[in-house]
Structure 1
């Protein structure tokens, strides 16, 4: 078995696709209209083992969860093979980092929030 996808609750499919696939450089793998909703899968890169299903909030409870699926903690980890280049590219594209890069025993890391408030680590493991 493998973990193939996680759900990200978003306010709007097209805004989320524009942010993740435009600003962050992810790949749009699927966008299938299902009538009242869409099956949208994005991934950090072509062939990535794990991606995200973008789910448009459909209730007040789901709307309240946008950007808070990790309860305020970093809960998404974007692994990089070239931290400096990816940090520079994301910064230039408008990604808001909450801190300067730091070196930890496990690697180089910096926390950022996406356009919807989800907190991520950009990380290059040692």
Structure 2
């Protein structure tokens, strides 16, 4: 039985730029970096002990190895208990940030990474 989401694969064009975005602008940490047999992947997460992490793969390399894979960006929703602060911090770091929207489940905004992939953030108290 599955009881946890362990890793999310994110296929990107520029791993170094993407790592820089997530660490410097969003505050994630690099958990691990592996470079084996021509494949490089970087594991990032909001904290070192997070249950779920994001693995950054080189989109071009993966497409050559597994052309049948869907390499599109997954629709990810992040939670924060520091909603206003995160929204302001991302704006101050010149990240493309959407308007705050009131949803039945809580306040939400989206933001774009350095490759214009959009992600959402929901306020969790």
The alignment's TM-score, normalised by the length of structure 2, stands at 0.82
How many equivalent residue pairs?
118
Corresponding residue to 1:42 among 21, 39, 44: 44
Partner SS, residue 120 of structure 2: strand
- Please tell me whether residue 29 in structure 1 is matched to residue 31 in structure 2: yes
The alignment's TM-score, normalised by the length of structure 1, stands at 0.82
Aligned to 2:100: 101
2-structure distance, mates of 1:90, 1:38: 28
2-structure distance, mates of 1:25, 1:37: 25
Corresponding residue to 1:54 among 53, 56, 60: 56
Map Cα deviations across residues 57-110 of structure 1 (whole Å, 9 max, x no partner).
123769x94xx424xxxx11111111001111111112101x311222211111
Structure 1: gaps of 5 or more residues: none
Q: Does the 8 Å contact 1:106/1:125 carry over to 2?
A: no
Structure 2: gaps of 5 or more residues: none
What is the CA RMSD across the aligned residues, in angstroms? 2.1
Aligned to 1:87: 87
- Per the TM alignment, residue 52 of structure 1 is displaced from its structure 2 partner at its CA by 0.6
2-structure distance, mates of 1:40, 1:56: 10
2-structure distance, mates of 1:22, 1:103: 28
Moved over 6 A (4+): none
